[in-house]
A and B are shown apart, each in its own frame.
Chain A
Amino acid sequence: MAELHARNIVDYLEEQRGKLTLRFITCGSVDDGKSTLIGRLLYESKCIFDDQLKALENDSKRYGTQGEKIDFALLVDGLEAEREQGITIDVAYRFFATDRRRYIVADTPGHEQYTRNMATGASTAQLAILLIDARKGILPQTRRHHRIVTMMGIRHVVLAVNKMDLVGHDEAVFRKIESDYREFSRDAGLSTLVAIPLAAVFGDNVMKPSANMPWYRGPTLFEHLDTVDVGHSAARRSFRLPVQYVNRPNLDYRGFCGRIAEGTVRPGDAVRVLPSGRATTVKSIDFFEDSLPEASEGASITLTLADEVDVSRGDLIVAAGDPPEAADQFQARILWMAEEPLVPGRPYLMKIHAKEVTATVMEIKHREDVNTGARLAAKVLNLNEIAVVTLSTSQPVAFEPYATNRSLGGFILIDKLTFATLGAGLVDFALRRAGNIHWQALEVGKEQRAAIKHQKPRCVWFTGLSGSGKSTVANMLEKRLHAAGRHTVMLDGDNIRHGLNRDLGFSEADRVENLRRVAEVARLMVDAGLIVIVSFISPYRSERRAARGLFQPGEFVEVHVSTPLEECERRDVKGLYAKARRGELKNFTGIDSPYEAPVNAEVVIDTSARPADECAIAVMRHIEA
């Protein structure tokens, strides 16, 4: 590349602006010379700085596998642990440029245990370089790489037949590999496929044509990368904007922010909001301080609409005349990326464009062997396995099939508890709500109900004098549990005595019956998987013991709110103590009716000794332990 002078800068910037960025992935293993090839691409495109080259020479002596020669692989094997092990274990992104194009390379390992890394790298790539060792030809790993990149939607493939120097630059070897690959990739729907014989370690056919292989008349690797057309096919491109963020700085402005996933939009265009289906027109397309006359695919913009329709994050704003489908049941392909297997019936968070819903795999139709493509039966899906599944979501989701649009048909599944990313999915099509959808049989019991709530069911029983602070602490506890994503319910005088137990008074017999019913209701709700918070004076030991007997060991948590009588009476929030002292209220616990303090409550708290919120935290700690 020529020296650049400041006076040429305008031309230079103009030229940069026009450059296309091509994102590609390299598939192969260390043994195929993948890192060497990438290092060579960086070197040949002059994207290695002097100091990096110096460091590389040092590293080559220390870790290198090429003797005294520069080991280009070391340039790209980033993490120290990997350098020592001599393998690439993740996805790394490299940047380089030629006079014609800019490149982002996703560099991923090729072994089967890194299938998820390759899929990750392929998800944003437009082209794949499949690397083959000329000595070995097409291997099972080549078929696997081919399967992953085509599944992820890549339609442009370069078959890089490397190490030609080790087979004597023999044309017949190259032609055999090329025809083998063309044969098995025939049905993959590739738009371009170019095979190139290489010796990356020496640079043959990387930038310059190889003098060792005069029989090859095709493009060098760089010639091909610089010119291959990866533009859209002539398919229909209607406007689709996933709404990421609603911008409301004041009452007069409501902007819907997102990056256009497909098509073009202009002010005045008729649009529809999905999944609601409401119709309106585009008022303006705002971008920073400008209003734009039009915006197209890839632009991050803010739309304002003519009418006050309801639009939230996760909705799609689309061309009114050509809306995509919205559905809550799908057929999809899933690649599982976690150690913990995918289990049908278990709920996951699903993120598709800007929408998050709960999704459940109804059925694994079949698993696909990643090496052979064979269809296999499967009850669960393990790490790095691929399957065709049916999926149902908690709410309707607007989408496009993955084959039509990657950003509207790709999704990830997230663990509801740890929030780890567990899997990647590609929507094939929506299922009609019909009888051909079968749930895998599941026994549903307390454990299963609790499992989908990610919690252990509990009965937390608050006992203590009137005015001791039971309800205050119980309420705080419920708020804390709720904030932590727990499913709770509260049983107290307010919701039980006014309804279910309306027929009961305050005699000892009625108090016993009152508590018996409360305990039975609590048990049913624990069976439903809930954390039940009971807040009753419950003065008698025997009734509390009876209640405890309804639950499994550990499920019942007795919380004694031990605030002293004097303090409760001093507070006398409802004026009941005063009434009882005056004899206007009979059978009042602590005054003319006994309170039998628990002897071995799980938690004891005194709201006169510390703030109610600390008491709630103490109870919370016990439950969550």
Chain B
Amino acid sequence: MNHYQQLEAEAIEIIREAVAGARNPVMMYSIGKDSSVMLHLARKAFHPAPPPFPLLHIDTTWKFRDMYAHRARMVRESGMKLLVHTNPEGLRQGVNPFTHGSNYHTDVMKTQALRQALDMHQFDVVFGGARRDEEKSRAKERIFSFRSAGHRWDPKSQRPELWNLYNTRVRPDESIRVFPISNWTELDIWQYLHVEKIPIVPLYFAAMRPVVRRGGMLIMVDDDRMPLEPGEKPEMRMVRFRTLGCYPLTAAFDSPATTMEEIIAETFNTVSSEREGRLIDSDQPGSMEKKKQEGYF
């Protein structure tokens, strides 16, 4: 077996194991490239049946418009059920990344919204697309990552995880987040997308897009909700994205890469790690670790 077949076989084994032990499983779907890989793996794991769980999208309402279009397409093609949840309280208060800042916006519209959705549906197994190469605290997280009541992650009392034996048992109120692509790297994701011809959001490919430069980052003006600061004028630049999230919080970068081959070549040659394009991680030292303890994915 080649390297991708190995990664794929491991991920499928993990997905099947989690489902076999689950009462009410769900797969997080963020529309990004990792989610695309996860969805593809889930379909492979259960073919000819459709995956026996729904997709869950935590919608902050601030995603790129292209992402919403892609979401509609993938739901249509996979035949899976899609659950969408937005924090109604945050929506009512009009929480947004501009006036409330990235920290508060992320806490209310992502972390709290996620907890609301999980509480509401009482999922016991939640698939996520996190990878261990993304960030230092991820490197220590289990593939089957146990959450106590209240969705808290306690890095000091994680269950030992030996061989490919996963403890899938939980008590009521407890849950497990399952990360089937823990052992993949960013390059693996791109290569797998390429080899398997998996459709992804067009924003990953370079195109002329309206951007402003803010705090050293290129932010795309995706709709008219974005307030421009004095002196800011959107300029058209050839840019693309390495990760996708809320458009005001996701930095674009200059790139000529318009094909999958060019993206892989660029990724291979790149010199900055993936999460640099996400503003939330650099707020404070250990910030991802803190968010995870609070229940963030």
Question: Could you list which residues of chain A lie within 8 angstroms of chain B, going by C-beta atoms?
Answer: 3-9, 12-13, 16-21, 49-52, 76, 78-81, 89-95, 102, 104, 116-117, 119-120, 123-124, 244-245, 247-249, 253, 255, 257-259, 286-289, 296, 298-300, 302, 313, 337, 349, 351-354, 406-407, 410-412, 414, 418-421, 424
Contacts and interface: CB of A to CB of B under 8 A. Distances in A.
B261 A300 contact: no
A95 B185 contact: yes
Contact of A119 (B45, B140, B162, B170): B162
Given A51-B276, A258-B13, 8 more contacts: A13-B264, A244-B16, A244-B17, A298-B5, A349-B169, A352-B165, A411-B165, A412-B167
Nearest to B46: A247
Nearest to B276: A51
Interface in B238-262: 257, 259, 261-262
Nearest to B12: A300
Task: Classify the secondary structure of A's interface with B.
Answer: mixed
B233 to A, nearest CB: 28
A306 B276 CA distance: 54
A351 to B, nearest CB: 6
B16, B163, B271: residue with the most chain A Cβ atoms closer than 10 Å: B163
A52 B286 contact: no
Contacts of A13: 191, 194-195, 264
A447 to B, nearest CB: 23
A-B pairs with the 7 shortest C-beta distances? A249-B49, A80-B286, A419-B169, A78-B136, A300-B12, A49-B273, A123-B162
Nearest to B131: A95
Interface residues of B, number: 64
A49 B136 contact: no
Contact of A420 (B1, B159, B185, B285): B159
B3 interface: yes
Contact of A4 (B2, B133, B182, B268): B268
B121 interface: no
A9 B137 CA distance: 32
21 contacts: A6-B262, A8-B265, A12-B268, A13-B194, A18-B3, A79-B140, A79-B286, A89-B156, A90-B155, A95-B132, A119-B162, A245-B20, A247-B49, A248-B49, A259-B12, A286-B48, A299-B9, A351-B165, A352-B165, A353-B165, A407-B164
Nearest to B135: A78
B231 interface: no
A300 B13 contact: yes
B282 to A, nearest CB: 9
B165 A412 contact: yes
A120 B162 contact: yes
Given A6-B265, A116-B160, A354 B20 contact: yes
A93 B19 contact: no
B272 interface: yes
A73 to B, nearest CB: 12
A420 B1 CA distance: 34
Contacts of B195: 13
B269 interface: yes
Nearest to A121: B162
Interface of B: 1-6, 8-10, 12-13, 16-17, 19-20, 43-49, 132-133, 136-137, 139-140, 155-156, 158-165, 167, 169-171, 182-183, 185, 191, 194-195, 257, 259, 261-262, 264-265, 268-273, 276, 285-286, 289
Contacts of A288: 43-44, 47
A92 B139 CA distance: 5
Contacts of A245: 16-17, 19-20
B2 A17 contact: yes
A248 B3 CA distance: 30
A505 B132 CA distance: 72
B163 A124 contact: yes
Contact of B4 (A17, A286, A354): A17
Contacts of B171: 418-419
Given A17-B4, A245-B20, A49 B270 contact: yes
Nearest to B142: A91
Nearest to A259: B13
A421 B167 contact: yes
Contact of A79 (B183, B185, B191, B289): B289
A419 B12 contact: no
A90 B3 contact: no
B6 A21 contact: yes
